[in-house]
Amino acid sequence: MAIFKKQSLKISDNKRTRAAELTLRESLYPLCLVTILFFLWGFSYGLLDTLNKHFQVTLNITRSRSSGLQAAYFGAYPLASLGHANYILRHYGYKPVFIWGLCLYGVGSLIAWPCILHRSFGGFCAAIFVIGNGLGSLETAANPYLTVCGPPKYAEIRINLAQAFNGIGTVVAPVLGSYVFFKNTGDNLDSLKNVQWVYLAIACFVFLLAVVFYFSPIPEVTDADMSFQAEETHAGTDTKPFVKQYRLFHATFAQFCYTGAQVAIAGAFINYVTETRRGSSDSTGARFLAGAQGGFALGRFAGSFLMRFIRPRWVFLVFMTMCIVFIAPSITQRGNTGMSMLYLTLFFESIIFPTIVALGMRGLGKYSKRGSGLIVAGVSGGAVVPPILFAAADSQQGKSDAPTAVAMSVPLVFFVAAWSYTLCVNFVPAYRDVADSFTMVKIGVQGAHADEESQAQGGVLPKDAPTQTETVGSETKS
């Protein structure tokens, strides 16, 4: 019953907590709990892509206007990651941000109920804006938490595995939409009632999860912990002023461009299928979207596996390049061929977002919390690129047999812009050396080996063996 004791929601950033030195075993529980959050916003994001097409039909609105959902959702991210969520993160810690984000998510889901009941598209966009603030808060804390909680050597693998559950959420949501929102011929106003119950269930679940987070003993990662990691790798850049963290700003730019392209492709996927594949209904398009998101989730598991044996930056380069290679033919191809190009694009998109987060935060030390807010703010690209794509598609109406296919040239341009960061991480020494130094550090890993050796000898370490504290270079000897 000790778990139900009152939990502290504030900790000094100047104190070391040892959270940055946790072994794989010690970090398992908090990482599993945080991974649930990734499924939640994957589910929410998948719902958004499905509802985008649903509102075009049921409320008779244009593609560009329906993209207001993405604009409201992702436009809220910088407000959270650079504003309220980042303030709470820097002054109180990770756990309060998790609770705050879940509460905002729940409130937004409750607001969505009357908006859907009265068929108010503007009101629903407002509810999505509140939900976006909640999910933006969660991402501001969860992404950096996964990269720093546990051995630094496996940061990219940890965040990609957790993000794979985000991909599973994006699979479940379109499947739900195809059978619930588009039930039968169901592209009618009455089918909106089904959406209400989904958001009510979400609200109940996230409020319950907020209570679980409050009572869970989650290890806090402070600025002092991150400075320690940066020191141990001899690759820390936090000795320079924040305005000179150029790698961070480049990562943020790449995140903006990449996320914008990813969101635009997923948001337009159903339109693409119905326009290029004869006889495909919205319900069929939603099921194909679920399949594509399944490939996206599979890509994250595959990428995580490859990173175990190949440097993460090389896997990052190959996957980002393949996104460009496969999105290009989707502009001119039609039918199953064009759709298969989008399937492959989503597969290779899989690891890009979490890998940019992990690599962009390398060496930031005491600037890690500020830096994570900036990188997550790059998600606001999802509010900018989809309206451009849908405006381009609307401009092609009557001029092309598949306006959405022609508009896929928009995400292609943004993929190429994001590719610049991938090239720098692999071929510019100032980027590459920092990334590689963290893949070789033994913090947490040697501690795990020492524990196993101790257990093998009946719990007693040999006299000449370093303890975990000595292994990670602490001034205090155990």
What is the 3 state secondary structure string of 369-402?
A: HHHHHHHHHHHHHHHHHHHHHHHHHHHCECCECC
How many structural domains compose the chain? 1
**Does the residue 34 lie in any domain?**
yes
Candidate ranges 36-40, 140-144, 155-159, 348-352; pick with highest mean pLDDT: 348-352
CA distance 269 to 405: 9
Q: What is the pLDDT of residue 447?
A: 47
Distance between CA atoms of residues 409 and 247, nearest Å? 28
For residue 152, tell me if it sits in a domain: yes
CA atoms of 342 and 334, how far apart (whole Å):
11
Return the residue matching tokens 């629903």.
Answer: 124
DSSP-derived secondary structure letter, 464: T
Picking from 47-51, 79-83, 182-186, which range would have the lowest pLDDT averaged per residue? 182-186
Which residues span the domain enclosing 251? 10-444
Residue 177: predicted pLDDT: 66
> What's the average model confidence in pLDDT over 129-135?
90
- Quick check: helix, strand or coil at residue 19? helix
Judged against a pLDDT cut of 90, whether residue 265 lies above it is answered with yes
The verdict on residue 5 lying in a domain is no
Tell me, what CATH number does 227's domain have?
1.20.1250.20
With cut-offs at 50, 70 and 90, classify the pLDDT of residue 439.
Answer: low
**What pLDDT shows up at residue 320?**
96
DSSP codes, 257-318: HHHHHHHHHHHHHHHHHHHHSTT--HHHHHHHHHHHHHHHHHHHHHHHHHHTTS-HHHHHHH
Residue 366 has pLDDT above 70, yes or no: yes
Q: What is the CA radius of gyration of the chain?
A: 23
pLDDT for 179: 67
Task: Indicate if the pLDDT at residue 28 is higher than 50.
Answer: yes
The answer to the question of residue 470 being in a domain is no
Q: Please, what sign has the CA dihedral across residues 9, 12, 18, 19?
A: positive
Confidence label for 146 from pLDDT (cuts 50, 70 and 90) = confident
Q: Which pair of tokens denotes residue 22?
A: 């946790």
Token representation of residue 72: 């409201």
| Residue 96 scores a pLDDT above 80 | yes
Other beta carbons less than 10 A from residue 123's beta carbon? 16
Q: Are the C-beta atoms of 405 and 331 separated by less than 8 Å?
A: yes
Which pLDDT belongs to residue 475?
A: 38
The rounded Cα 68 to chain-centroid distance in angstroms is: 21
Please give the pLDDT value at position 12: 58
Distance, in Å, from the CA atom of 42 to the CA atom of 47, rounded to the nearest integer, reads: 9
Q: Is the separation of the CB atoms in 192 and 176 below 8 Å?
A: no
Q: Which amino acid is at 330?
A: S
Q: Which amino acid makes up residue 467? A: T
Give the pLDDT band (50/70/90) at residue 185.
very low
Residues 385/263, Cβ–Cβ less than 8 Å: yes
From 37-46, 191-200, 201-210, the region with the lowest mean pLDDT = 191-200
Mean pLDDT of the chain: 78
* E strands in 122-252: none
- How many other C-beta atoms can be found within 10 angstroms of the C-beta atom of residue 7? 14
pLDDT at residue 65 in the model: 74
The structure's pTM equals 0.75
How much is the pLDDT for 451?
Answer: 43
In a domain, 25, yes or no: yes
Q: Is residue 455 part of a domain?
A: no
Q: Looking at the domain assignment, is residue 232 inside a domain?
A: yes
In a domain, 4, yes or no: no
> Model confidence over 269-326: pLDDT tens digits?
988 998 888 878 877 887 888 888 888 889 988 988 898 888 889 999 999 999 999 9
- Chain mean position to CA 159: 9
Residue 443 has pLDDT above 80, yes or no: no
Q: Select from 20, 449, 423 the least CA-distant residue to 229.
A: 20
Q: Which residues pair with 1 in a beta bridge?
A: none
For the beta carbon of residue 474, count every other beta carbon within 10 angstroms: 16
Tally the residues of the chain. Answer: 478
Distance between terminal CA atoms of the chain? 30
CA torsion through residues 420, 147, 107, 55, sign: positive
Tell me what pLDDT residue 159 has: 83
pLDDT at residue number 457: 36
